[in-house]
């Protein structure tokens, strides 16, 4: 019986060494160690041996079983390693292939047009001054000659905050007061760019958030002629040297007199088209001489100082310049639109 065990061990191990696949290994396991395997049969037959032989044969059989199991594990490990080396070899990944380049970003069209406007006005001696987007009712309305009962307040639909008297500015004009109070009694020449907010329906012509650029010049002899000169120069620098500009009478509570500034239509050259509604002119700004009461609110004596102010929408200007038909493109973040201005 012991001899038989020894023989079985030798045969099993030499067979095992010849195996080259996991399938063959499994077949080997079933043949020797499975429920009907050769070694299992030997172990089962121990019960029929005379009692005095059983312990010795039993011990030996268990030793053989352990040896076979150990050899099996070892062989399985070796085969697995061989398999993974083969897979690595076959499925080699070429990490030297260059990745897809990530392109650099670019400035948003609103930022681009703002920077063009800054460049033109700073050349004329204006500084760029940023003022808060969250404003007081006093600065946004009252000190600009728009008291609570004033009918002009109907012109603005406002985002009010939960704090009484605090709102999102509806225009950049409250910046005029901040600039005046900052520099009074010195002369001021500044443009005040920034975001404004209006609680109104979004359409192709109106957004609830948009940029404005306010302009302000205050000094001892500032006249309407200066406003005309500054604005004509601006229009020609931005849209071409042969642009014509006209002033139309208008009304704003914080300027007196007030004007709308038009430029001859760059699309049709003044002949009349859909963009200029067949008038040959497009409106590019609202402006005027700073109202004496607003000057006083800013700290200046209107008997000594005068000034002009204007406000314009850079998105509207970009729309004109690039013939964009819908203001909603600016902030809907569609890359197909934005990429055209990269
Ligand atoms: Zn036109």
Q: Which residue carries 């709308």 as its tokens?
A: 260
Question: How close is the Cα of 264 to the center of ligand 1, in Å?
Answer: 8
The DSSP annotation for 222-288 comes to --HHHHHHHHHHHHHHHH-TT--EEEEEEEETTEEEEEEEEEE-TTTTTS--TTTTTSSEEEEEEEE
Which pLDDT belongs to residue 155?
Answer: 66
Which region among 16-25, 129-138, 208-217, 299-308 has the lowest average model confidence (pLDDT)? Answer: 16-25
- Rounded to the nearest integer, the mean pLDDT of the chain is 90
Question: How close is the Cα of 12 to the center of ligand 1, in Å?
Answer: 98
Tokens representing residue 271 in the block: 């002949």
Question: How close is the Cα of 155 to the center of ligand 1, in Å?
Answer: 27
Question: How close is the Cα of 244 to the center of ligand 1, in Å?
Answer: 13
Which pLDDT belongs to residue 6?
Answer: 86
Q: What's the pLDDT tens digit per position in 210-242?
A: 999 999 999 999 999 999 999 999 999 999 999
Question: How close is the Cα of 282 to the center of ligand 1, in Å?
Answer: 8
The closest of 202, 205, 128, 195 to 168, measured between CA atoms, is 195
Contact 197, 221 (CB under 8 A): no
302 alpha carbon, distance to own chain's centre:
46
Question: How close is the Cα of 315 to the center of ligand 1, in Å?
Answer: 18
Residues 6+ apart with CB under 8 A from 82: none
Question: How close is the Cα of 202 to the center of ligand 1, in Å?
Answer: 25
Distance in angstroms (rounded) separating the CA atoms of residues 341 and 335: 10
Beta-bridge mates of residue 213:
193, 312
- pTM of the full predicted structure? 0.68
Question: How close is the Cα of 240 to the center of ligand 1, in Å?
Answer: 15
Q: In what order do the strands lie in the sheet with 188-197?
A: 127-128, 188-197, 209-219, 306-312, 281-290, 255-264, 245-252
Contact 306, 152 (CB under 8 A): no
Contact 323, 299 (CB under 8 A): no
Which pLDDT belongs to residue 12?
Answer: 87
Query: Is 124 in a helix, a strand, or coil?
Result: coil
Question: How close is the Cα of 260 to the center of ligand 1, in Å?
Answer: 17
Question: How close is the Cα of 308 to the center of ligand 1, in Å?
Answer: 28
Question: How close is the Cα of 270 to the center of ligand 1, in Å?
Answer: 6
Of residues 47 and 108, which shows the higher confidence score? 108
Question: How close is the Cα of 116 to the center of ligand 1, in Å?
Answer: 23
Which pLDDT belongs to residue 13?
Answer: 87
Distance in angstroms (rounded) separating the CA atoms of residues 207 and 187: 34
The closest of 192, 151, 147 to 174, measured between CA atoms, is 192
Question: How close is the Cα of 275 to the center of ligand 1, in Å?
Answer: 5
E-assigned strand segments in the chain: 127-128, 134-136, 166-168, 188-197, 209-219, 245-252, 255-264, 281-290, 306-312
Which pLDDT belongs to residue 156?
Answer: 67
Question: How close is the Cα of 278 to the center of ligand 1, in Å?
Answer: 6
Distance in angstroms (rounded) separating the CA atoms of residues 309 and 39: 105
Question: How close is the Cα of 269 to the center of ligand 1, in Å?
Answer: 6
Task: Give 143's pLDDT tier (boundaries 50, 70, 90).
Answer: very high
The closest of 301, 288, 237, 302 to 263, measured between CA atoms, is 237
Q: Is the predicted pLDDT of residue 263 greater than 70, yes or no?
A: yes
Q: What's the pLDDT tens digit per position in 45-98?
A: 888 888 888 888 888 888 888 988 998 899 889 888 988 888 888 888 777 878
Of residues 116 and 49, which shows the higher confidence score? 116
Question: How close is the Cα of 274 to the center of ligand 1, in Å?
Answer: 6
Contact 202, 328 (CB under 8 A): yes
Q: In the chain, what percentage of residues exceed pLDDT 70?
A: 99
Question: How close is the Cα of 283 to the center of ligand 1, in Å?
Answer: 11
Question: How close is the Cα of 193 to the center of ligand 1, in Å?
Answer: 28
Helix 314-322 × helix 109-123 angle, to 10°: 100
Question: How close is the Cα of 313 to the center of ligand 1, in Å?
Answer: 19
Residue 8's alpha-carbon distances to 14, 17, 23, 134, 136, in angstroms, are 10, 14, 21, 92, 99
How far the first Cα of the chain sits from its last, in Å, is 89
Question: How close is the Cα of 321 to the center of ligand 1, in Å?
Answer: 12
Question: How close is the Cα of 279 to the center of ligand 1, in Å?
Answer: 7
Which pLDDT belongs to residue 36?
Answer: 85
Which pLDDT belongs to residue 291?
Answer: 97
Question: How close is the Cα of 194 to the center of ligand 1, in Å?
Answer: 29
Query: Is 213 in a helix, a strand, or coil?
Result: strand
Which pLDDT belongs to residue 262?
Answer: 94
Contact 316, 285 (CB under 8 A): no
The closest of 210, 177, 195 to 307, measured between CA atoms, is 177
Q: Which residue carries 């005068």 as its tokens?
A: 306
Question: How close is the Cα of 273 to the center of ligand 1, in Å?
Answer: 4
Q: What is the mean pLDDT of residues 12-38?
A: 87
Q: What's the pLDDT tens digit per position in 151-198?
A: 767 766 888 889 998 999 999 999 999 999 999 999 999 999 999 998
């Amino acid at each position: 019986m012991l001899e038989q065990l020894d023989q079985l061990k030798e045969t099993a191990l030499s067979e095992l060494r010849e195996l080259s696949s996991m399938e063959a290994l499994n077949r080997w396991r079933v043949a020797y160690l499975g429920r009907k395997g050769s070694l299992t049969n030997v172990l089962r037959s121990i019960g029929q041996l005379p009692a005095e032989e059983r312990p010795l044969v039993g011990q030996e059989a268990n030793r053989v079983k352990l040896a076979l199991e150990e050899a099996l594990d070892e062989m399985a490990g070796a085969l697995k390693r061989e398999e993974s080396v083969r897979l690595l070899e076959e499925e080699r990944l070429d990490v030297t292939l260059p990745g897809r380049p990530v392109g650099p970003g670019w400035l948003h069209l609103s930022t681009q047009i703002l920077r063009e406007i800054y460049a033109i006005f700073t050349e004329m001696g204006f500084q760029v001054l940023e003022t808060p987007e969250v404003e007081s009712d006093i600065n946004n309305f009252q000190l600009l000659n728009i008291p609570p009962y004033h009918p002009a307040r109907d012109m603005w639909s406002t985002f009010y905050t939960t704090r009484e008297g605090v709102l999102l500015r509806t225009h950049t004009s409250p910046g005029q007061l901040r600039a005046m109070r900052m520099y009074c009694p010195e002369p001021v020449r500044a443009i005040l760019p920034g975001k404004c907010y209006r609680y109104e329906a979004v359409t192709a012509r109106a957004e609830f958030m948009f940029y404005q650029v306010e302009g302000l010049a205050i000094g001892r002899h500032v006249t309407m002629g200066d406003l005309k000169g500054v604005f004509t120069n601006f229009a020609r620098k931005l849209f071409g040297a042969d642009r014509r500009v006209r002033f139309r009478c208008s009304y704003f509570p914080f300027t007196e007199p007030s004007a709308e500034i038009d430029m001859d239509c760059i699309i049709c050259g003044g002949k009349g088209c859909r963009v200029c509604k067949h008038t040959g002119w497009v409106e590019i700004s609202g402006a005027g001489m700073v109202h004496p009461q607003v000057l006083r609110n800013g700290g200046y004596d209107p008997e000594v100082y005068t000034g002009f102010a204007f406000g314009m929408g850079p998105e509207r200007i970009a729309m004109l310049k690039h013939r964009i038909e819908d203001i909603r493109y600016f902030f809907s973040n569609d890359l197909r639109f934005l990429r055209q201005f990269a």
